[in-house]
């Protein structure tokens, strides 16, 4: 079983910054990708950013240029640096780890961390 523990959420004013962390219970290089998603009540969970085991990053158009995903392999931790935050980005942010075994996809999720952007 894989455990993902997020931290770093909180409240920030519009234009502010936060850094989220996701600590995994195993070697993150064993996952084909890790990433961050967010969800607000009544809406589907949406992709924010991902990073593959090879280091390729992918961002939602809405966060491109403001958010940065990174990882520390030695600490088995993935980060999401969020700058210039907007009120509409208030959501629960979830860490994801994706593992593929013989073409079967396994997604693991953290418990989520609340990010509130408000003046």
| Residue linked to tokens 């931790």 | 77
* Confidence band for 101, pLDDT divided at 50, 70 and 90: confident
- Rounded Cα distance between 51 and 29, Å, is 11
* Confidence band for 93, pLDDT divided at 50, 70 and 90: very high
- Rounded Cα distance between 70 and 59, Å, is 12
Taking residues 40-64, what's their average pLDDT?
96
């Amino acid at each position: 079983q894989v455990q993902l523990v997020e931290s770093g959420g909180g409240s920030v004013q519009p234009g502010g910054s936060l850094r989220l962390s996701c600590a995994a219970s195993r070697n993150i290089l064993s996952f084909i990708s890790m990433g961050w998603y967010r969800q607000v009540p009544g809406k589907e969970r949406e992709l924010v950013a991902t990073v593959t085991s090879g280091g390729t990053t992918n961002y939602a158009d809405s966060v491109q240029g403001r958010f940065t995903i990174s990882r520390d392999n030695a600490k088995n931790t993935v980060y999401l640096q969020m700058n210039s935050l907007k009120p509409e980005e208030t959501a629960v942010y979830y860490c994801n780890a994706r593992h593929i075994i013989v073409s079967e996809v396994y997604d693991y999720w953290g418990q989520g961390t609340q990010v509130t952007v408000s003046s």
